[in-house]
Amino acid sequence: MPAAQRDRRLHQLHIIAGPCSTPQTPQLEPLLAVISARFGDALAAVIYYGSCLRSGDPYDGLIDFYVVVDDYGRPGQSRIGALANRLVPPNVYYAERATGHGILRCKYAVLSVEQLEAGVGRRAFLSSIWGRFAQPVAIVHARSAHDHDRVRAACGEAVVTLLEKALPAVAPPASAADTFAAALTLSYASELRVERAGRSVALVAADAAEYSHRLRCAAPLLSFEVNLDDPQAVRYRPSAQRRQLAKISWPLRRGAGKLVSVARLVKACFTFSDAVDYAAFKIERHTGVAIEVTDRLRRHPLVFGWVALWRVYRQRLLR
């Protein structure tokens, strides 16, 4: 790609992603200091996402971070942890810090810069990365302006990838926000999640103008025409071949995505301190089902955890 064309695309990706900032950043400094101390100069960026970002209150639940590093083999991870991160990314860890306003708690997932960029690209089959970063996020730490711009471009690329893969499977016309919500619904269905049905629709409805903006800005970068003349009736014309590919790939993506989600749960039992307590908290928060966390369950989650998961699944609360 010629340099001028590459620069234009980079500029467009930054517009799609938006400023990726939040006024909460100073409040997060105690946790950012913990992460920075662990990964040192291998730390390229920290990305803030999830419910605390949306609510504006970092003390309201567990903060969600993605930690982007140069190399898993650098300081911060054991050799086994680095291997696990390469094979089934990302590894997830827990940190907390007491402040004058209460206790800040976070879980942070670790990705290399290369895996982030590959995970949001059009060649990535599973939606766990491009589906996550297609939503608004904040870059709350960056090692340099170059790292900030690189991560911000990846966030814009995630939007393009989501729409490129999902819209051929979504029937038009619908409003711009509803079109984006339908795309996210496909992505959500390709993971093992405890949120109730309609979660993606509610997320988009709460910030409809932002998602409409993302669709409008990403439209010129898609491989098919998108007509946004009427924002309440968006029309797009992917080829018959792309529609057929979407019809085949999304069921495969759902099956493969759920299997990978199970593998990540198993891995989290070894990398994520208090993983069982966190999972129980998450399930009850999103489904209303209380899971009794016993000492036996904490000691042997891979043996006794499946009983609790099966209970949630039978009530059709685990998707």
Rounded CA separation 40/71 (Å):
12
Report the DSSP beta bridge partners of residue 99: 102
Residue 293 has a pLDDT of: 57
Peptide bond before residue 23 is cis, with ω within 30 degrees of 0: no
**Both tokens assigned to 213:** 């903006």
Rounded CA separation 133/316 (Å):
27
Rounded CA separation 232/236 (Å):
13
Residue 86 has a pLDDT of: 73
Rounded CA separation 131/120 (Å):
8
Buried b (16+ CB within 10 A) or exposed e, 183-198: bbbbbbbbbbbbbeee
| DSSP one-letter string for the chain | --HHHHHHHHHHHHHHH-----TTGGGGHHHHHHHHHHHGGGEEEEEEESHHHHHT-TTSS-EEEEEEES-TTSTTS-HHHHHHHHHSPPEEEEEEEEETTEEEEEEEEEEEHHHHHHHHSTT--SSTTHHHHTS--EEEEESSHHHHHHHHHHHHHHHHHHHHHHGGGSPSPB-HHHHHHHHHHHHHTTS---SPTTHHHHHHHHTHHHHHHHHHHHGGGSSS-EE-SSTTSBEE---HHHHHHHHHHHHHHHHHHHHHHHHHHHHHHHHSTTHHHHHHHHHHHHH-------HHHHH-HHHHHHHHHHHHHHTT---
Ranges of each domain in the chain: 3-254, 274-314
Residue 317 has a pLDDT of: 47
Residue 242 has a pLDDT of: 95
Q: What are the φ and ψ backbone dihedral angles of 229, each rounded to 5 degrees? A: -60, -40
How many angstroms separate the Cα of 3 from the Cα of each of 9, 130, 158, 312? Answer: 10, 25, 21, 52
Rounded CA separation 9/5 (Å):
6
Report the DSSP beta bridge partners of residue 96: 105
Residue 94 has a pLDDT of: 85
Nearest-Å Rg of the Cα atoms of the chain is: 20
Share of the chain above pLDDT 90, in %: 63
**How far, rounded to the nearest angstrom, does the alpha carbon of residue 265 sit from its chain's CA centroid?**
16
Residue 271 has a pLDDT of: 61
Burial of 253 (0-12, 13-18, 19+ CB in 10 A): buried
List per-block mean pLDDT (blocks of 10 residues) for the chain, which spans 319 residues: 87 97 96 95 96 94 94 64 72 88 91 95 95 97 97 98 97 92 94 71 94 97 95 93 96 93 72 58 56 58 51 53
